[in-house]
Chains A and B, each alone.
Chain A
Amino acid sequence: AQSVSQHNHHVILSEAASLELGCNYSYGGTVNLFWYVQYPGQHLQLLLKYFSGDPLVKGIKGFEAEFIKSKFSFNLRKPSVQWSDTAEYFCAVNAHNTDKLIFGTGTRLQVFP
């Protein structure tokens, strides 16, 4: 069965610090990979996604993620975080032939000024 692991449950950073959130998945076939973000009091929204092609994907608000197939990883990065990045971040995966998204447990990011 597919699963998604997010190893960092709670991350606290100061503004301008660099961010990397880990995401690993377990599935042997071709996958689509997603990062969603949920700002306080708001709905989940898509940050970025990987379907094929360049394994380095750029998303909104300066976020990027790199798909490393050999490591089954899709880590999220941002070189310099802002207070407004405080949110919960979810990694998700679905196999190419399915529609169901499998989510990780989420990482709560707090950024202090």
Chain B
Amino acid sequence: EADIYQTPRYLVIGTGKKITLECSQTMGHDKMYWYQQDPGMELHLIHYSYGVNSTEKGDLSSESTVSRIRTEHFPLTLESARPSHTSQYLCASSEGHAGNTIYFGEGSWLTVV
């Protein structure tokens, strides 16, 4: 069982609101990731981090931002939510070596109305 937690699980908010999706892992993993998944579609990497103070953009362009001030915490923020941001956001983490298993959180379902 992976120890990676996301909150909130479900969120419905109005257009223009600022939201932060929280992600925490207790495994001491250096690498953390955010994926976005629309229903019935593949997962797309939007952000990743190799460690504290490291953040990189993923393959899919996203208006969200991330921060990595602590190893265990990798929050994702949308400054001004829009309906096009409606999606599922999955946080994940892995150990330092390339190719290691990536562990996923349960996901945060965001609906912007």
Contact = CB atoms under 8 A, between A and B. Distances in A.
B104 A44 contact: yes
Given A46-B101, A51-B99, A90-B43, A100 B106 contact: no
Contacts of A44: 90, 92, 104
Interface residues of A, number: 25
B99 A100 contact: no
A62 to B, nearest CB: 20
Nearest to B98: A99
Contacts, number: 57
A103 B45 CA distance: 9
Interface residues of B, number: 27
Contacts of B98: 94, 96-99
B105 A43 contact: yes
A75 interface: no
Contacts of B85: none
B2 A43 contact: yes
B45 A100 contact: yes
B69 to A, nearest CB: 21
Chain A interface helix/strand/loop/mixed = loop
A98 B59 CA distance: 13
A26 to B, nearest CB: 14
B99 A94 contact: yes
Nearest to B101: A46
Contacts of A96: 98-99
Interface string A66-105: 0000000000000000000000001000101111111111
Interface of B: 2, 4, 31, 33, 35, 40-45, 48, 50, 58-59, 90, 92, 94, 98-99, 101-107
